[in-house]
């Protein structure tokens, strides 16, 4: 496996193939195997399916449009198939952004590039390695799907299952290649976050555009539109070869541009369209003015300055979606009320009066906003752990400051940065409501944004206490907890999760403050828990070794 | 502009007048200091004393425990047992107080890629309560560091220079440096030696690890050798005579029994060859056993006697390799 770059790349992904492929394959198998018992064969089958279809249709913003729900393929699509492009896309964009950039950041690419092969060959071998790894992940998924169909005695041909996997794979590659392209322009982390943001945005936009006529045009420039054209698991739709060809062309274009940029740019540098050529100038130290920027004066200012770009980018990205919603809100409100009124699921979720602006906005904005704030909080945790993981903490801790103060300062930065991001988003939301003449209960709106900050705060506190035990795995575990917590809140009815467990979900505790106002007792509990977690983090951080 | 330096500066001034044990004659003292990572790495019951104003070289092969010792002194890692005092203060309990008075350069470090050298040094200066900018610019000029460049654009040597300046700029009482001249060109290495010499003249103590024997010989008062987590030798450079050995080449007119020399203690690398009908015996002999070897050789018809003193580097390498000797 160490014969060449291609095989070495495949070898590097062997654990990921096992974890992602095995995990998703098992999920596919477990969902599929349960198919026959869900609707049963009794006299109520037709009604059950109809109720289920209505429920799922109302979730179309999350799942996209779902077809043939009464078939095995349609059922699989509902359960997991519709989000497979996103799940595999997350893997692909993380891998794509790191494909060459992680070697550059580690310093090993220089050595690799010094071996007798062209840069094009180097990148193609790595890209081919990624492709093989993706196939390695898709094979267990296909196996899980096919086996589940056999167990459920469902009519799904292995070929159709393979076509579904092909479509998901193409979807993942679109975002993997995009991240690879972005990584020619910027650092690995930023490339991954740009690609991730675009993936999340285009996914939601595509799902929304299927219900909102005025947004239909966006489909032509949205990869998820072409992904959703193919529904190999749904017999009534089937594969769409045109859509797949467009996806393949997008991938070829992205990889082509990435290869071209990789050839042009400096290793350990970023691609510049117009290269600046200037003589080497050495600035004498005594001629250099003393840096006087206030943010250099202490850890807090320094940390806050480092998060400033993130604050603005996140707030503006979220606000772009919010603006899109609010701009067309009064036009689409009527059709939304009709569409959503046909199902009871929203009542079960607590959206009791779908004719009110608060209910609709809570459903279409805050249901996602809280998840995005959680993601932002996880990134803040990652920012803290990276200080240690990337070897900077060693020097920072050699200056005269106690560990507890350093930890609390960084935590303070995370908390203030989250507050600023939410504050900016809230201000744009309020302004947009005024401009587009949408009436919303101001106190509840304030409570909703304040609650978002508390959600961010408690996630950061959990992340910090986990980081105090293991900076290497804290971010992954915090992220996992957020996803489990969100799904627990969202799918508790469908999955029949015990109430006691659901109450542990931070998203359940956040509730629907835009509709019901903020539950200050819950907020107080979350604030108290945050203090407890951070105290625990401080205690543990004081005791343990700093990793090299 | 003196950006918010007052608070930290006050802290340092306050501490100068109260906490540091100025009567302590040791800059560093460890008692049975032990830190293990599983079975293979770490240090075991390390007893070490470094005097105030002393330049102490800490030597050992890779993985011997040099960095572990240094990180324990800085309280970056916690010992399994034993204790360490730095400037008379407990390395764990009083670590913040200690950090006020030390300058630290890790063996491997990373800083903020998007910051220029000047911004990086200003930031660390502020964290230390402020440093006269002239001191920083003077050091940068001496080391030929262009502080206007971003940290990510620096070569390895230039990154090391930033690390060295941040360790020295506040004129600490104790410098703890992990391979300080690593990555520097010979001219800059010489400049660092001068800067360390000046720091010592100003009263600072220096504790540093190194692999470069010439720099150890040049700037150290005393040397400690660590091997597999144990301190195997401590002494002044001039006192390390038992470490030193002689390379002998003895040419005899007749036959010489090799066994007679093998029996002698302190004789290593013994070999016999024939050159132009003479028997030539080569060996290395520990300095304190030279007399016995010469007396034994004198029993036979000696034609030629060549003795060469190996470099300190050879001696240390020999010491590292020879497990029995170390133990």
Residue A48 has pLDDT above 80, yes or no: no
Q: What is the mean pLDDT of chain B?
A: 84
User: Closest to B128 (Cβ–Cβ): which among A286, A292, A399?
Assistant: A399
Mutation target to probe the A interface, by most A beta carbons within 10 A, among B41, B74, B110 is B110
pLDDT > 90: percent of chain B = 48
Distances, alpha carbon A36 to alpha carbons A142, A149, A164, A227, in Å: 19, 10, 21, 28
d(CA A285, CA B193): 21
Q: Which residue does chain B place closest to A302, by CA atoms?
A: B123
Whether the pLDDT of residue A470 is over 80: the answer is yes
Inter-CA distances, A20 with A84, A511, B26, B54, Å: 12, 32, 56, 57
Nearest CA in chain A to B170: A399
Q: Taking CA atoms, what residue in B is nearest to A388?
A: B110
Inter-chain CB proximity B108 and A548 less than 8 Å:
yes
pLDDT digits (tens, 9 = 90+) for B205-216: 999 998 777 788
Write out chain B residues lying below 8 Å of A407, CB-based. none
Distance from CA of A114 to the nearest CA of B (A): 18
The CA distance from B178 to B208, in Å, is 6
Annotate A305-350 with DSSP letters as a single string: HHHHHHHHHHHHHHHHHHHHHHHTHHHHHHHHHHHHHT-SHHHHHT
B159 touches chain A (CB under 8 A): no
pLDDT higher than 70, residue A403: yes
Angle (nearest 5°) at CA B217 between B216 and B223 = 60
Residue A520: pLDDT band with limits 50, 70, 90 = very high
Closest approach of chain B CAs to the CA of A290, in angstroms?
7
Distance of CA A40 to the CA centre of its chain: 35
pLDDT at A225 over 90: yes
At A458 the pLDDT is: 97
pLDDT at res. A352: 63
Long-range contacts of A116-119 (CB under 8 A, 24+ apart): A117/A5, A119/A262, A119/A263
- For residue range A482-516, what is the model confidence (pLDDT) as tens digits? 888 887 887 776 667 788 888 899 999 998 899 88
Residues A410-424 pLDDT 10s: 999 999 999 999 999
Q: Which of B123, B150, B154, B163 to mutate to test the interface with A (most CBs of A within 10 A)?
A: B123
CA nearest neighbour of B239 among B222, B227, B225: B222
Gap from A398 CA to chain B (nearest CA, Å): 6
Q: Count CB pairs under 8 A between chains A and B.
A: 108
Token duo for residue B253: 């007119």
Q: Which residue of B has its CA nearest to A289?
A: B118
Contact B74 A397 (CB under 8 A): yes
Give the best residue of B38, B96, B151, B172 to mutate against chain A (max A CB count within 10 A).
B96
Q: Which residues have CB under 8 Å from A369's CB, separation 6+?
A: A318, A322, A425, A452
Select the residue of A285, A391, A395 nearest B141 (Cβ to Cβ).
A285
Chain B residues 41-100 with a CB less than 8 Å from chain A: 67, 71, 74, 76-78, 95-97, 99-100
Which residue in the set A285, A299, A395 is minimally distant from B106, CB to CB? Answer: A395
Does B112 contact A392 at a Cβ distance shorter than 8 Å? yes
Q: Which residues of B touch A544 (CB under 8 A)?
A: 78
- Contact between A536 and A467 under an 8 Å Cβ cutoff? The reply is no
B127, B135, B141, B172, best to mutate vs chain A, most A CBs in 10 Å = B127
Average pLDDT over residues A50-60: 67
Residue pair A92/A175 in contact by the 8 Å Cβ criterion:
yes
Q: Is B324 on the interface with A (CB under 8 A)?
A: no
Chain B residue numbers touching A293 (CB-CB < 8 A): 119
Contacting residues of B for A282, CB less than 8 Å apart: 146
Q: Which pTM value belongs to this model?
A: 0.75
Choose from A303, A388, A399 for mutation: most chain B CBs within 10 A. Answer: A399
**Inter-chain CB proximity A402 and B96 less than 8 Å:** yes
ipTM of this model?
Answer: 0.74
Please indicate whether, in this complex, the C-beta atoms of A548 and B110 are within 8 angstroms of each other.
Answer: no
Whole-number pLDDT of residue B240: 62
- Reply yes or no on whether the pLDDT at B13 is more than 70: no
Mean pLDDT, rounded, for A127-153: 93
Between B109 and A418, the higher pLDDT residue: A418
Helices (H) and strands (E) in chain B, counts: 12, 14
pLDDT at B319 over 50: yes
CA nearest to B4 within chain A:
A297
B233's enclosing H/E stretch is strand B230-236
Q: What is the pLDDT of residue A224?
A: 93
Q: To the nearest whole number, what is the mean pLDDT of chain A?
A: 87
Minimal CA separation from B224 to chain A, in Å: 24
B146–chain A nearest CA distance, Å? 6
Residue that wins the pLDDT comparison between B27 and A1: B27
Q: Which residue of B has its CA nearest to A269?
A: B153
Over residues B285-289, the mean pLDDT reads 81
Report whether pLDDT(A25) > 70: yes
The pLDDT-based confidence of B17 (bands split at 50, 70, 90) is very low
Distance from CA of B225 to the nearest CA of A (A): 23
What is the pLDDT, as a whole number, of residue A59? 60
Residue A441: pLDDT above 90? yes
């Amino acid at each position: 496996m160490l014969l060449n770059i291609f095989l070495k790349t495949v070898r590097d992904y062997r654990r990921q193939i096992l974890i992602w492929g095995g995990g998703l394959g098992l999920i596919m198998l477990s969902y599929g195997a349960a198919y026959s018992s869900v609707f049963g064969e009794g006299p109520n089958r037709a009604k059950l399916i109809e109720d289920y279809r209505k429920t799922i249709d109302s979730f179309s913003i999350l799942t996209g449009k779902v077809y043939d729900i009464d078939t095995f393929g349609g059922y699989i699509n509902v359960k997991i198939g519709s989000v497979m492009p996103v799940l595999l896309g997350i893997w692909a964009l993380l891998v794509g952004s790191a494909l060459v950039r992680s070697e550059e950041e580690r310093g090993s690419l220089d050595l690799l590039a010094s071996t007798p092969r062209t840069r094009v060959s180097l990148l193609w071998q790595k890209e081919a390695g990624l492709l093989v790894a993706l196939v390695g992940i898709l094979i267990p998924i296909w196996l899980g799907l096919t086996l589940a169909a056999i167990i459920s005695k469902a009519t799904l041909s292995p070929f159709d299952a393979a076509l579904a996997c092909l479509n998901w794979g193409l979807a993942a590659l679109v975002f993997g290649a995009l991240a690879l392209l972005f990584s020619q322009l910027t650092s690995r982390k930023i490339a991954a976050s740009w690609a991730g943001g675009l993936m999340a945005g285009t996914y939601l936009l595509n799902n929304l555009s299927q219900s909102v006529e005025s947004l239909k045009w966006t489909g032509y420039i949205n990869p998820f539109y072409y992904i959703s054209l193919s529904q190999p698991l749904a017999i009534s739709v089937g594969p769409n070869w045109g859509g797949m060809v467009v996806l393949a062309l997008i991938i070829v274009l992205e990889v082509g541009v990435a290869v071209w940029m990789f050839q042009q740019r400096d290793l350990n540098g970023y691609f510049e369209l117009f290269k600046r050529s200037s003589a080497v100038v050495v600035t004498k130290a005594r001629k250099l003015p003393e840096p006087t920027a206030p943010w250099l004066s202490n850890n807090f200012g320094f940390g806050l300055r480092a998060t400033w770009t993130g604050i603005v980018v996140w707030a503006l990205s979220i606000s772009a979606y919010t603006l899109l919603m609010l701009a067309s809100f009064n036009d689409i409100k009527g059709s939304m009320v009709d569409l959503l009124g046909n199902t009871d699921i929203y009542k079960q979720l607590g959206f009791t009066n779908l004719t009110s602006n608060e209910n609709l906005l809570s459903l279409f904005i805050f249901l996602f906003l809280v998840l995005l704030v959680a993601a932002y909080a996880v990134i803040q945790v990652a920012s803290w752990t990276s200080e240690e993981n990337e070897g900077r903490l060693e020097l920072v801790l050699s200056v005269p400051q106690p560990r507890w103060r350093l930890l609390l300062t960084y935590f303070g930065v995370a908390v203030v940065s989250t507050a600023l991001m939410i504050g900016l988003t809230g201000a744009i939301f309020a302004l947009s409501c005024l401009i587009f003449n949408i009436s919303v209960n101001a106190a509840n709106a304030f409570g909703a944004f304040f609650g978002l900050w508390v959600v961010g705060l408690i996630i950061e506190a959990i992340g910090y206490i986990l980081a105090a035990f293991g900076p290497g795995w804290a971010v992954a575990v915090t992220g996992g907890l957020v996803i489990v917590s969100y799904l627990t809140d969202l799918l508790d009815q469908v999955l029949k999760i015990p109430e006691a467990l659901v109450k542990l979900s931070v998203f359940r505790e956040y509730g629907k403050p835009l509709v019901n106002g903020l539950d200050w007792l819950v907020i107080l509990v979350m604030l108290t828990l945050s203090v407890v977690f951070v105290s625990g983090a401080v205690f543990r951080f004081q005791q343990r070794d700093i990793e090299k | 502009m003196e950006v918010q330096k007052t608070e930290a500066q006050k802290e340092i001034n306050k501490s100068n007048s109260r906490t540091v044990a100025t009567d302590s004659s040791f800059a560093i003292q460890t008692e049975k200091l032990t830190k293990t990572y599983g079975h293979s790495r770490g240090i075991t019951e390390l007893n070490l004393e470094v005097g105030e104003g002393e330049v102490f070289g800490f030597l050992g092969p890779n993985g011997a425990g040099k960095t572990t010792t240094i990180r324990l002194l800085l309280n970056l890692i916690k010992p399994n047992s034993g204790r360490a005092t730095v400037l008379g203060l407990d390395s764990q309990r009083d670590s913040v107080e200690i950090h006020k008075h030390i300058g630290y350069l890790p063996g491997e470090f990373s800083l903020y890629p998007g910051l220029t050298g000047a911004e990086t040094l200003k930031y660390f200066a502020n964290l230390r309560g402020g440093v006269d900018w002239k001191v920083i610019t003077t050091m940068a000029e001496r080391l030929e560091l262009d502080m206007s460049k971003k940290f990510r654009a620096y070569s390895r040597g230039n990154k090391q220079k930033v690390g060295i300046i941040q360790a020295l700029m506040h004129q600490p009482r104790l410098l703890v440096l992990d391979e300080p001249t690593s990555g520097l060109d010979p001219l800059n290495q010489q400049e660092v030696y001068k800067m360390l010499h000046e720091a010592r003249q100003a009263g600072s103590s220096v504790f540093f690890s190194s692999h470069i024997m010439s720099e150890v010989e040049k700037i150290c008062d005393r040397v400690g050798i660590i091997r597999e987590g144990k301190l195997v030798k401590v002494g002044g450079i001039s006192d390390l005579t038992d470490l030193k050995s002689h390379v002998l080449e003895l040419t005899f007119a007749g036959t010489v029994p090799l066994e007679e020399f093998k029996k002698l203690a302190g004789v290593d690398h013994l070999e016999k060859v024939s050159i132009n009908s003479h028997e030539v015996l080569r060996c290395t002999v520990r300095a304190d056993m030279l007399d016995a070897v010469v007396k034994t050789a004198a029993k036979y018809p000696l034609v030629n006697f060549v003795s060469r003193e190996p470099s300190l580097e050879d001696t240390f390498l020999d010491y590292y390799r020879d497990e029995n000797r170390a133990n």
